[in-house]
Amino acid sequence: MSEFPKRRMRRMRASPGLRAARREARISVDDFICPVFVVEDEAAAGPVASMPGVMRHRLSELDREIETLVSLGIGSVLLFGVPAKKDATGEGAARDDSAAAQAIHRIRNATDRLTVMTDVCLCSYTDHGHCGVIRDSAASPVTQGGHRGVTIDNDATLDILARTAVAHASAGANVVAPSGMMDGAVAAIRSGLDAAGFTDVAILSYAVKYASSFYGPFRDAADSAPAFGDRRSYQMDPANAREALAEAELDLREGADAIMVKPAMPYLDVIRRVRDAFPSVPLAAYQVSGEYSMIKAAAERGWLDERAVALESLTAIKRAGADMIITYFAKDAARWLRDA
Ligand code: PBG
């Protein structure tokens, strides 16, 4: 094709009809998965200060939220349970009366129109806030943010994760989503689920999860900040992209039915690389708390147009290659798209 003045790119942008007809990436309510926080301690319920518009729900209030989600046409939720009591091992996560399990029951009894995905991790359930069981070992080469001699014991954590997944499946979860970045978690959960007869429960693995500072506001919502050190010995280094392909491949080989890249917007290149390397895999991206709160805060100051920026960010995540988007904008975006 010859160049200017024969070729003018602006012609195909000239009218709304042309722009719509040639559009490559489209977002719809079908893409969205809405995170839902449920607290066991009723006194802890209420708005999350660092995430305007996001609530910590008490169980008894969940029905209203379910109704809203269903009426907006949102098909899936990602459930986070916040327990009243924590302990050293995070055993509470595996209880069949955990806040998460009770919430699953409630959603199941209220509607058939919501797919229930659950976060499977120990960080809200451990008193130290790490995503696994900890072990003191002076000989350990691992440091947790300057803390030496404490290891997050990968293999000791797997059994609790598998039992947590089974508890969620027993309560009626459709999909379990291990987010703790423990090696072998997908395989352990798959064999736990299968042994318990839950062969139809899917695993959405947080396969590519970075040690990101964008999770700050979430840790207020889920009460899951590490009490010492950081998560860099188990979550990925933000500088790495090739490593993401290894993580994705391992989780798929262990039996993940779908995988996730998290966070989303600072890692669009990673979403694209994972999509290209695994063209057929269902791929989710998590627009995390910090991504959400930045847009909210700027919009509150009048510095950004919230609706336009949120929809642009979701479109960019879709364009990068994600099929599903976990986003705190799910309800608002569903309304914006409906009313557009
Ligand atoms: C639990 C978990 C985290 C998020 C999802 N699951 C926090 C973390 O790893 O520290 C973050 C989600 C968000 O920031 O919105 N491991």
**In this predicted structure, what is the pLDDT of residue 331?**
98
The Å distance, Cα 188 to ligand 1 centre, comes to: 21
Active-site residue (options: 86, 262, 296, 318): 262
Q: Among 307, 285, 287, which residue's Cα sits nearest to residue 296?
A: 307
Q: Are 35 and 298 in contact (CB under 8 A)?
A: no
Active-site residue (options: 6, 85, 86, 209): 209
**In this predicted structure, what is the pLDDT of residue 1?**
64
Q: Among 327, 283, 285, 284, which residue's Cα sits nearest to residue 309?
A: 327
Cβ of 119 below 6 Å from ligand 1? yes
Q: Identify the residue whose C-alpha is closest to ligand 1 atom 7.
A: 215
The Å distance, Cα 261 to ligand 1 centre, comes to: 12
**In this predicted structure, what is the pLDDT of residue 75?**
98
Question: Best of 33, 157, 179 to mutate for ligand 1, by most ligand atoms within 8 A of CB?
Answer: 179
Residues in the chain where the model's pLDDT stays below 70? 1
Pairwise CA distance, residues 67 & 46, whole Å? 18
* Catalytic residue flag (residue 6): no
Question: What atom of ligand 1 comes closest to residue 215's alpha carbon?
Answer: 14
Pairwise CA distance, residues 43 & 84, whole Å? 10
Q: Which fold has domain 25-333?
A: TIM Barrel (3.20.20)
Cβ of 48 below 6 Å from ligand 1? no
The Å distance, Cα 334 to ligand 1 centre, comes to: 23
Provide the strand spans (E) within 121-235. Answer: 134-136, 143-144, 147-148, 150-152, 175-178, 202-209
Nearest 5°: CA angle at 181, between 198 and 200?
15
The Å distance, Cα 259 to ligand 1 centre, comes to: 15
Domain spans in the chain, listed from the N-terminal domain onward: 25-333
Cβ of 236 below 6 Å from ligand 1? no
**In this predicted structure, what is the pLDDT of residue 143?**
76
**In this predicted structure, what is the pLDDT of residue 98?**
96
Pairwise CA distance, residues 290 & 248, whole Å? 24
Cβ of 179 below 6 Å from ligand 1? yes
Query: How far does Cα 2 stand from its chain's mean position?
Result: 46
Read off φ and ψ for residue 142, nearest 5 degrees. -85, 140
* Catalytic residue flag (residue 86): no
The Å distance, Cα 329 to ligand 1 centre, comes to: 16
